[in-house]
Structure 1
Amino acid sequence: MNNLDNTSARMKILDTLSRYAWGYDEADSRLLMSVFCEDATTAGKIANSGNGWGPFNGRDAIVETLLSMRSGQHDVRRHTFHTFRFEQIDQKNIEAFFYASIFVTKDAKTRIATTGKYHALMQNENDGQWRIFSLDVELDASF
């Protein structure tokens, strides 16, 4: 892959991950459906606790679960993703590693709820969109 294609792919991947964050934070099923492959999987855990969630398999089940989780959170959530690292990039597949800081606002007070690391396997599907095939999350603390 040449540098121009590589940069373009990275920007599209960052856009997909941003749509995931916006989709979750705003409980937007359309955005969430747009970021996962049909046969995607996801799971997560809270470091050093034995607590976690998933695995959930299939886009519909993942989106339903994420929206259910979000509906139980009665505050404003803001996922911010940063410190990206991409590996094994080719025309159709990429492995992305990145950190998250998750902010919560309630009663006009904002705090960091938790931080964590994400690992995503992403695929460039036939329509040219990069989507999440597998997403594993490890949060540093309970939120």
Structure 2
Amino acid sequence: MTARAEIENVLNRAAWGYDENDVDLLAEQFTETATLTLQIGRDGDVVGPFEGRAAIHKLHADSLAAQTDQRRHNISNLVIVKETADTASVTSNLTLLSIENGALKVISSGWYRDDLVKQGSGWLIATRHIYLDLPY
């Protein structure tokens, strides 16, 4: 498998983990020392950083516990901005769907800015910044 395909799989496994309420799968896509930040809107404050895999796991577990809908994270337009043998900087678009009470709606769009590192035989997210156009 190419590095690009491996990187796409990491991002997609993280999204799948959230969507299927498998926070362990989601967290496994991050390094032990990963950091995550979030910003809503161009003028919004940056939330975080959430530092370490355990903090990222807790953030997502708490978010899922408060949800009443089914989310679907759709990642597209992945661009590898910079790549070496063991690091990659990637941007990708996010379209966030919500399914509730028989209705489907887009609840936000945005993007991810991820820095990944190759550890052992696979890639993991070392830093992630999430930007959302709208709050959800």
Q: Same fold judged by TM-score > 0.5? A: yes
- Mapped partners of 1:139, 1:33: distance in 2: 20
**Paired residues of 1:96 and 1:121 also in contact (CA < 8 A):** yes
- Mapped partners of 1:58, 1:102: distance in 2: 24
- Mapped partners of 1:9, 1:48: distance in 2: 32
Partner of 1:118: 112
Partner of 2:64: 70
Deviates more, 1:84-93 or 1:46-55: 46-55
Q: Secondary structure at the match of 2:12?
A: helix
**Paired residues of 2:91 and 2:114 also in contact (CA < 8 A):** yes
Of 100, 105, 130, 2:123 maps to 130
- Mapped partners of 1:51, 1:106: distance in 2: 29
Opposite residue 61 of structure 2, the aligned amino acid is L
Partner of 2:89: 95
Partner of 2:29: 35
Question: Highest Rg: 1 or 2?
Answer: 1
> In the comparison of the two structures, how many residue pairs are matched?
136
- Mapped partners of 2:54, 2:99: distance in 1: 28
Sequence identity, in percent? Answer: 28
User: 4+ runs of 1 displaced by more than 2 Å?
Assistant: 48-53
